[in-house]
């Protein structure tokens, strides 16, 4: 592709990548790591349930919020345990526990709109405070931190809110109109952006219609922090809806407020071809954070054992992904701090010398 002048969002991401030594490392699975630590997330809110129960994401909370006592969380001793685990493993980017957190979802639990917005804000504050604590601890130990540590506010799809499997099909039925999706996401985007994250992460996008809704909202809401768009592929060629990944990436490429585009929650074996497809239509930094490759049984609502790859096999792909052009690399469902530690170790063994040009 012929390189055009980068927008402010793309330029910011490139500078962060350069400051990190050539690659940024994202964190790994949040919800599945919470479950591994004993959290019960069997709820349509999924990881966002921890904003109510404060189970393991919020370390101490003797009085979790209820519709009758919505502000009790203000007195919590907030410790983002899983966030801290990922920072200690070498992650440069924390993704907030807001993937399935929506105003509509909280309202269905009896919270008012104001209370729901406060809970969205809290998802960002938890990650910001984990970062502050991490930096403080290292300062006290005279351990320098020479790479950026960023917070990305997660926005999941409309299908993630429905919690009916449509986030993995992209089939929203009669609700599948662009204006409906924009109305659904608008206030959520505004609240999360105002909470002070470094980036907005539109994750596991299942169809090109929702991608188009996102980029239009970024413009209409005048969001002034970089965003990324990350799609979910079912076969290494298409988004889960059957739409072409290239079409989705093209939508992201045309938006100056999008700083990176990529793939998440997709088996590692598909990533090589997907990076090459994305690179055909954009020069924006590419991010990839696959899942472990394990198969999820939707009827039993459990992961099928022995269907994924080990951490060793997962990171064996990292060198290839770097050569393909991935600049931001992490993990999604069923990856752990050990996975992220292995990714960082692999990058430190040589690929951090391959710097991405700063726009």
pLDDT digits over 86-102, tens only? Answer: 999 999 999 999 999 99
CB 292 within 8 A of CB 308: yes
Q: What is the pLDDT of residues 240-262, one digit of tens each?
A: 999 999 999 999 999 999 999 99
| Domain boundaries along the sequence of the chain | 8-294+302-353
Share of the chain above pLDDT 90, in %: 70
**CATH code of domain 8-294+302-353:** 3.20.20.330
Residue 322 annotated as part of some ligand binding site: no
135-162 per-position pLDDT tens digit: 999 999 999 998 999 999 999 999 999 9
CA proximity to 192, closest of 148, 155, 229, 156: 155
* Nearest of 16, 134, 117, 133 to residue 71 by alpha carbon: 117
pLDDT at 219 over 90: yes
Given a contact cutoff of 8 angstroms between Cβ atoms, the answer to whether 117 and 191 are in contact is yes
255 is in an annotated binding site: no
Least-confidence region, from 57-66, 223-232, 275-284, 337-346: 57-66
Q: How far is CA 191 from CA 13, 14, 54, 269, in A?
A: 22, 26, 20, 36
Is this prediction's pTM over 0.75?
yes
């Amino acid at each position: 592709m012929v390189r055009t002048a980068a927008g402010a969002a793309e330029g910011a991401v490139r500078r962060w990548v350069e400051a990190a030594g050539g690659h940024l490392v994202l964190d790994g699975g949040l919800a599945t790591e919470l479950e591994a630590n004993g959290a019960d997330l069997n709820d349509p809110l999924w990881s966002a349930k921890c904003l109510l129960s404060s189970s393991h994401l919020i370390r101490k909370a003797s009085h979790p919020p209820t519709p009758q006592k919505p502000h009790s969380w203000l007195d919590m001793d907030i410790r983002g345990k899983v966030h801290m685990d990922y920072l200690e493993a070498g992650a440069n980017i924390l993704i907030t526990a807001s993937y399935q957190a929506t105003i509509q979802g909280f309202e269905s639990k009896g919270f008012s709109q104001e209370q729901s917005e406060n809970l969205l804000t809290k998802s960002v504050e938890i990650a910001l405070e984990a970062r502050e604590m991490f930096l403080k601890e290292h300062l006290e130990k005279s351990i320098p931190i020479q790479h950026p540590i960023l917070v990305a506010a997660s926005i999941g799809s409309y299908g993630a809110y429905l919690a009916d499997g449509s986030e993995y099909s992209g089939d929203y039925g009669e609700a599948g109109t662009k204006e409906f999706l924009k109305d659904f996401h608008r206030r959520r985007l505004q609240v999360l952006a105002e909470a002070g994250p470094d980036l907005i992460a539109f994750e596991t996008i299942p169809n090109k219609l929702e991608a188009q809704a996102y980029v239009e909202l970024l413009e209409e809401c005048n969001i002034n922090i970089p965003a990324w768009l990350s799609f979910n592929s079912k076969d290494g060629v298409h988004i889960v809806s059957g739409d072409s990944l290239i079409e989705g990436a093209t939508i992201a490429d045309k938006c100056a407020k999008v700083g990176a585009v990529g793939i998440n929650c997709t088996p590692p074996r598909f990533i090589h071809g997907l990076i090459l497809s994305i690179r055909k239509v954009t020069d924006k930094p590419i991010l990839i954070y696959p899942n472990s490759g394990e198969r999820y049984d939707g009827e039993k609502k459990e992961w099928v054992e022995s269907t994924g790859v080990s951490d060793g096999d997962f990171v064996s792909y990292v060198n290839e992904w770097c050569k393909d052009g991935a600049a931001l690399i992490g993990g999604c469902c069923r990856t752990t701090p050990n996975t992220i530690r292995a990714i960082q170790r692999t990058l430190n063994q040589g690929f951090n010398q391959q710097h991405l040009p700063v726009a």
